[in-house]
Amino acid sequence: MLRETLSMVRDLPRLHEITSVLIRYGWGDVVRLMGLARVLERAGRLLRWQTSSEISRLDLPVRIRLALTELGPTFVKLGQVLATRVDVFPPAWIEEFERLHSQVPPVPFEGLRARLEEVWGKPVEAVFAAFETEAFAAASIAQVHRATLHDGTRVVVKVRRPNIEAKIEADLRLLVHLARLLEMEIQESRRYHPVQIVGQLRRSLMRELDLVMEARNLELFGQRFANDASVHIPKVYWDYCGEGVNVQEELVGVAGNDLVRARAEGYDLPLLAARGADAVLKMILIDGHFHADPHPGNVIYQPGNVVGLMDFGMVGRVTDLRRDQLIDFLEALTRKDEMGMMNVLSIWSGDAEIDESRLAYDLSEFVFSYDNLALKDIQVGQLLAEVTAVMRENNLALPPDLTLLFKALITLEGLGYQLDPDFHMIDHLTPFLRRLLEARYAPGALARRARHGLKEMADVFFGLPRDVARLFRQARRGRLRIDLDLKRLDHFGIQLNQAANRLTMGVLTASLVVGSSIIMTIATGPKLLGLPLFGLIGFIVAFFNSVWIILSIWRSGKD
């Protein structure tokens, strides 16, 4: 607790900046409810509560996007993470979050030279035959420079911006505090899981800060596609990688969002769409490790209709268990089995309370909308959006790994439609699902699952006496413990502590008044203005104590 308090004091200037931006964009009520204004005013930092009329006329999602943009790179990244939470936010919010970009002016190269030369142990000019000191791409965390090795290989050097780690850590500390306050003070915010979202943001930022981890991802995906001539993953040059720096092959070709040039140079756009979809679906459903952001900016089209993929800073994982759950859900959907779908959704939602009758009705409506619809007419992105809408309306949230997966599939389908208006993701998804189902129900797989199930049942059966004996032993020793998670109990404790402090001060003040009155009757001793000095001091202290108690009670009434 002391450490958290000290960190809050250290971060007060940034907290003041954040709350000022929130107020300016019309979030003053949230600042009041969370008690941030009281904290800052006690620290001597006054807040201006005006919201301009122009800002107040903007829609709520637009205002939050503008606020996140103004707050800087950590909050821009927060918006990008929120854009993956299609299960929590409605489409209008997701659309605004997707407009957030972390493009910022690059740092002058001289500000990066020291770090690069520390990693390489020699001047930049000695490492490369040519090095472009002007960055051709810059984001909030890193920027990229083109270079040429001495053997003529064209590479890109990705280097982390200086001093970015300290700023991100400070913002993350504050965001953790703010998320906890939101869940504690604003009941409506709990359905958005702010603490969970900040945790997802932290993991995403830590991955992006670790450029060596991105290099490992590149190498891993490169190995998995080594025998696929239709997909190109950049090669990593490990001799030049180090803390905050990675060097990888430069992909030369047509940018994924430059379709005019791609058509002019004779690329087969439908073939590119098919190859890109097959590559990402293989990552998801076969490898269980996928590129989580396959948007056009991360794609390069190369001669021979080769799809080049880059920027593996954000990747997702699909465990075997999660893949089985996805198959169960799709199987239940094809059978129009609402209970089967509800079982999977309840697993995904964890400990959330579920109104089963309402959820069953919403799922039946969802299934009805796909009744008699030809397979080729199913849009995977729309299907996933409707599933997440059902979860959102029932206050259920997807696990973070599935939000990344759903977002990747929706982005991938959008890219396919840009390349080919007749693109159907389901045509590419079906063969993978058929392959997984065949493997799932193969005799060998069934036998392995049967053995695993029998082993688990035997472990439970034979371990039951031991567990019961341990339970009674703990009860006999008085060590049986029951954990209760009561909402707002910590807040109640704070209020109780404040009330006890006021009561203690009141008793001390009353004692001072009584003691000082007695001293006033004694003729001997030092005097001030003709009155006994110690009695006069006692009354003065009692007066200020009384003022403090009155102000404390008045402030608690306002809060």
Helix and strand numbers, DSSP H then E, in the chain: 24, 13
Nearest to 103 by CA among 69, 145, 64, 62: 69
Does residue 293 have an active-site annotation? yes
Q: Is the dihedral of CA 397, 400, 401, 406 positive or negative?
A: positive
Side chain identity at residue 402, one-letter code: L
Q: What are the structure tokens assigned to 494, written together?
A: 């704070």
**328-335 long-range contacts, CB within 8 A, separation 24+:** 330/433, 331/437, 333/367, 333/370
Q: For residue 456, how many other CB atoms are within 10 A of its CB?
A: 10
Q: What are the structure tokens assigned to 290, written together?
A: 């996928």
Nearest to 527 by CA among 517, 537, 518: 537
Residue pair 138/106 in contact by the 8 Å Cβ criterion: yes
Q: For residue 208, how many other CB atoms are within 10 A of its CB?
A: 21
For 63-96, letters b (16+ CB in 10 Å) and e give bbbbbbbebbbbbbbbbbbbbbbbbbbeeebbeb
Question: Rounded CA gap, 295 and 297, in Å?
Answer: 6
Taking the chain, what is the end-to-end CA distance rounded to the nearest angstrom? 23
Q: Going by C-beta distance under 8 Å and a sequence separation of 6 or more, which residues neighbour residue 427?
A: 376
- Name the strand (E) or helix (H) holding 306: strand 306-309
- Name the strand (E) or helix (H) holding 248: strand 245-249
DSSP string, 273-313: HHHHHHHHHIIIIIISEEES---GGGEEEETTTEEEE---S
Q: Which of 11, 87, 278, 293 is catalytic?
A: 293
* Residues with active-site annotation: 293
